[in-house]
Every structure is written in C-alpha cells, then in structure tokens.
Amino acid sequence: MCGLEWGRLYETYHKNAYSPVKVWARVKELYADECVRNRRGIFEYVLGGEREPRLLDLRVFESRETKAVYAKQTAAAEAKGVSNCPLCAIGHAANATRIWKFAEMDADHVTAWSKGGATTLDNCQMLCKMHNRAKGNR
C-alpha cells in the first residue's frame, strides 16, 4: 500500500460513497489474483468502479501458450473438417471450413477476465482476428 498517490486518489474519488468493507474485500481478492500484474493499480481500479482493467496490467497469454492452443485447436478442426476459429466453424459463410494461419488469429479469454475467467490455458481459445474484435470485452 505504500507509495500510492493517496492525494490524487482522494481528490478523484472522495465524493463517491463506498462501503469500506466491500472495497477491502475486493482489493484483497485482486491482490490474490495472479493475472493482476500491477498491484499498485488495484485501489484505483476498485475506487473507479472497476471500469478500467488497464490499471491492473492484466496478464495476457504468452506466445508459447497461444502456439500450443493454436496447434491443438487446428489439429482438432482439421480432423473435423471445420474452421479452426470456433466462431467461423459454427457460421455458414465461406470461412466455416477455413484454416487460419497462426498470424491471422488472436488469443481470446473464453470467459472474460472481468467475468471471472482466468488467464489460463483452459480458458484460452484462438479466434480469427475478425471474431476476436467482434467479441470484445476481454
């Protein structure tokens, strides 16, 4: 907790009504979350109504992880004769059977972090860039 800019935080947030118990509980929860890389941002994130996850510098999938997911997902898709983008695969467009290259895809949290999804392999899927952008809310 030391080194935080308490003055600025106070100026910005003191007009809001908070339950100190709830704030502390949430702060403690986020301290324990391994996806949070910038713990100094936790207080401000909570005080600000949890609208700016960038304050937390959340862990993103590393390239070795996304490559592993890509390889597994692509092998399964090829075996089924469908696109390796799960959202393309359930569509009816020409891309339904398209195998995207690794560079044409992005890693996606199946369950968004903001909804409790962790940055772990079992919560990672590769989506084509178009679908990843369309999904948003990471």
Please state, in angstroms and rounded to a whole number, the distance separating the CA atoms of residues 91 and 86. Answer: 9
- Indicate left, alpha or beta for 70 from its phi (over 0: left) and psi (-120 to 50: alpha): alpha
Query: Given the structure tokens 């079992």, which residue do they identify?
Result: 122
- Which DSSP helix (H) or strand (E) runs through 124? strand 124-128
**Which 74-93 residues touch Zn ion, going by CB under 5 A?**
85, 87-88
How many residues belong to the site for Zn ion (CB under 5 A)? 5
**Footprint of Zn ion on 109-138 (CB under 5 A):** 128, 131
| 75/90 with CB nearer Zn ion | 90
Shortest Cβ 63–Zn ion spacing (Å) = 20
Interface ranges with Zn ion (CB under 5 A):
85, 87-88, 128, 131
